[in-house]
Amino acid sequence: MPKVIGLTGGIGSGKTTIANYLASLGIPVYIADDAGKKVMQTQEILEAIKQEFGTAVFDENQLNRAKLAEIVFDNPDRLKALNAIVHPAVRNDYKNWLSQHQKAPIVVYESAILFESGRYTDFDYILTITVPLETRIERILKRETISRDQVLNRINSQWTDEQRVLKSDFVVDNIDIDLAKLKIDEILKILSINQ
């Protein structure tokens, strides 16, 4: 039975970079956001979304994720309805994935909303990636064509770094990726000693 690390951090913190580094070390990494996109392509989930949100979020039977995002982003009740459809499917997908990695000493579950979704209690350890707010904003503006206000709205819809850190076993500051990787290596050493 592997030790399971929940990896999280706010948007723009560089958690995906850290997840990729962990994967490069041979550690199985489950990316919840990718899994969510995958399960949203299944017929069962598409039907449930159509039932809940109507055909307005579809273009010729294809889910228009941008239209769906517009509806749920500023509406907590609609977001809750979407999560009630998608999260159980991701949970099942993760259970299947985990059953295939039972021989690994450590596996990682990466999610931006680990705390917000209540999933953080499912893991042996929580690793939070932090970065100063302005750095996060700059990173997001470089990779996406959205306004600063939209970035701040996204950041404000998630837990703060301070809230995450209080409930985390390990915290890695990710301003300098080389230093962050060294810190990850240290954490992995600690975890392997505790096996």
How do residues 45-92 score in pLDDT, each as one tens digit?
999 999 999 988 999 888 988 889 888 877 889 888 998 999 899 999
Question: How is residue 167 written in tokens?
Answer: 């409930």
In sign, the C-alpha dihedral spanning 113, 115, 117, 122 is positive
pLDDT at 150: 85
Mean pLDDT of 108-118: 91
pLDDT at 146: 85
Fold agreement (1-28+106-195, 35-100): yes
Instruction: For residue 9, name the pLDDT band (cuts at 50, 70, 90).
Output: very high
Name the binding residues for ATP.
Answer: 12-17
| CATH of region 35-100 | 3.40.50.300
C-alpha to C-alpha distances, 155 to 11, 80, 130, 140, nearest whole angstrom: 6, 18, 13, 10
| Helical ranges in the chain per DSSP H | 15-24, 32-39, 43-53, 65-73, 76-99, 133-143, 148-156, 161-166, 177-193
pLDDT at 131: 94
pLDDT digits (tens, 9 = 90+) for 149-164: 888 888 888 899 999 9
Average pLDDT of the chain is: 92
Phi first, then psi: what are they for 126, rounded to 5°? -115, 130
pLDDT higher than 80, residue 134: yes
Look at residue 29 and give its three-state secondary structure.
strand
Instruction: For residue 23, name the pLDDT band (cuts at 50, 70, 90).
Output: very high
In CATH terms, the fold of domain 1-28+106-195 is Rossmann fold (3.40.50)
pLDDT at 194: 62
Instruction: For residue 144, name the pLDDT band (cuts at 50, 70, 90).
Output: confident
Which helix (H) or strand (E) segment holds residue 12: the answer is none
Q: How far apart are CA 78 and CA 72, in angstroms?
A: 5
- Residue ranges of the domains in the chain? 1-28+106-195, 35-100
The residue among 193 and 5 whose pLDDT is bigger is 5
How are strands ordered across the β-sheet holding 125-130? 29-31, 106-110, 3-9, 125-130, 170-173
pLDDT at 155: 87
Name the binding residues.
Answer: 12-17
